[in-house]
């Protein structure tokens, strides 16, 4: 089984976009393990954010893994551009990829780690026939599109089930959760088997980034 040390991936969606490079440097100094970059197209989710150009700019700013979460339709059309821009991990949504096996294969052919994400109401079983082919499963604990929402508790049960499956099938899989994760609930998230915690407002909304990251890591 994979080394299960807890990783913290600040989501830049809650960062000060007028100073994005400085913000990424600041969380790197504060002990972040990954940088999560939320790409949104205004179709799959009701918000529009950034694209490959911003990933390319951030690639010059940090050596941390850039964990790119594609909340977009037609992800296959954009995976090469995000890979070229410097993404290390590219996560697509099961709900947005009709040919998910092909999308995951494309990410890996480009030499990147492949992740698949499911929204809070999407059944874990939708991953049954792809779970063995991915490096990361991202369980959304909010309806994607915005930071600062509350964690949907049913995501914890989903994480517990996925953790059991990964253990039973000896899968070297990162289990990531994203949405509403705070110092107050981080222990419950880790206890559910999540080893990569994504947090936006809990980090970038804090006065002390290092203390926030440390409190999430436990
Ligand atoms: C939501 C994004 C999340 C968000 C998390 O659609 O995918 O990464 O930034 O923000 P918090 O941690 O504030 O819920």
Mind listing the pLDDT tens digit for each residue in 100-144? Answer: 999 999 999 999 999 999 999 999 999 999 999 999 999 999 999
pLDDT at 190 over 70: yes
What sign results for the dihedral spanned by CA atoms 117, 123, 127, 131? positive
Rounded CA-CA distance 201/27 in Å is 13
Atom of ligand 1 nearest to the CA of 181: 12
Task: Give the confidence band of 14 by pLDDT, cuts at 50, 70, 90.
Answer: very high
Residues with CB under 6 A from ligand 1: 11, 13-14, 36, 38, 69, 142, 144-149, 178-181, 198-202
Residue 178 falls in the annotated catalytic set: yes
pLDDT of residue 3: 53
Mean per-residue pLDDT of the chain: 97
pLDDT at 69 over 70: yes
Q: Is 164 helix (H, G, I), strand (E, B) or coil?
A: helix
Residue 22 falls in the annotated catalytic set: no
Mean pLDDT of 208-218: 97
Mean pLDDT of 148-170: 98
pLDDT of residue 6: 97
pLDDT of residue 191: 98
Mean pLDDT of 12-20: 98
Rounded CA-CA distance 140/154 in Å is 10
pLDDT of residue 1: 43
> What predicted TM-score, i.e. pTM, was given to this entire model?
0.97
List, edge to edge, every strand of the sheet that includes 136-140.
7-10, 196-199, 174-178, 136-140, 113-118, 89-93, 66-71, 35-40
| Spacing of C-alpha 18 from chain mean position | 22
| Ligand 1, atom 8: closest residue by C-alpha | 11
pLDDT at 2 over 70: no
Mean pLDDT of 38-62: 98
Mind listing the pLDDT tens digit for each residue in 72-91? Answer: 999 999 999 999 999 999 99
Rounded CA-CA distance 19/122 in Å is 35
Question: What percent of the chain has pLDDT above 90?
Answer: 98
Task: Give the confidence band of 194 by pLDDT, cuts at 50, 70, 90.
Answer: very high
Output 1 or 38, whichever has higher pLDDT.
38
Out of 38, 41, 67, 174, pick the active-site residue.
Answer: 38
| Ligand 1, atom 4: closest residue by C-alpha | 147
């Amino acid at each position: 089984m994979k080394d299960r040390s807890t990783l913290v991936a600040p989501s830049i969606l809650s960062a000060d976009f007028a100073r994005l490079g400085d913000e990424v440097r600041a969380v790197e100094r504060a002990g972040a393990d990954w940088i999560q970059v939320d790409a949104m197209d205004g179709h799959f989710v009701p918000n529009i954010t950034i694209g490959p150009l911003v990933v390319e700019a951030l690639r010059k700013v940090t050596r941390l893994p850039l964990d790119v979460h594609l909340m977009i339709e037609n992800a296959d059309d954009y995976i090469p551009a995000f890979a070229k821009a410097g993404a290390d991990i590219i996560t697509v949504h099961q709900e947005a990829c009709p040919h998910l096996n092909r999308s995951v294969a494309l990410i890996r052919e480009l030499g990147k780690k492949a992740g698949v994400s499911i929204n809070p109401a999407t059944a874990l079983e939708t991953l049954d026939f792809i779970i063995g082919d991915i490096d990361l499963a991202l369980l959304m604990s909010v309806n994607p599109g915005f930071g600062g929402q509350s964690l949907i508790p049913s995501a914890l049960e989903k994480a517990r089930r996925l953790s059991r499956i990964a253990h039973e099938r000896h899968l070297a899989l990162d289990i990531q959760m994203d949405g509403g994760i705070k110092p107050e609930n981080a222990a419950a998230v880790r206890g559910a088997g999540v080893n990569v915690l994504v947090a936006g407002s809990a980090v970038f909304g804090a006065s002390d980034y290092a203390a926030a990251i440390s409190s999430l890591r436990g």
